[in-house]
Amino acid sequence: MANTYTQLYIQLVFSVQGRESLIKKAWKSELYAYIGGIIQNNKSKPLAINGMPDHIHIFIGYSPASPLPDLVEEIKTSSNKFLKEKFKAPVFNWQRGYAAFSYSRSHIDAVIKYIENQEIHHQKTYF
């Protein structure tokens, strides 16, 4: 095969350090757009980004041109710096580690819907 073709869909999930609720609603759209730019600069495609005050979900069409741990590290480091400079969030840090889940093409719409509806998902009461 002359060219390389991949079709990889990855959901990343990581938390604010100590699971503190530090992601402000006023920051979300700019933060998510900034993270989307980081993903695009690393040759992947952002499909959905959303979260709650204490964690974030990022769904991407992943390009292995950038190793996944390096991409996550760049997202965390750069977005952390962005929040501190743009919104004067001196106590903000991402927690170490992350979760990564792969999905087939047939699950794209369901995963995007799940991520877009994080607020509704987290309103549910579990006993």
CA distance 37 to 35: 5
* Domain boundary assignment for the chain: 8-121
Q: What pTM, to 2 d.p., does this model score?
A: 0.91
Write the CB contacts of 1 (distance below 8 Å, at least 6 apart in sequence).
Answer: none
Mean pLDDT of 45-69: 96
| pLDDT for position 106 | 97
pLDDT over 70 at 6, yes or no? yes
CATH tag, 8-121: 3.30.70.1290
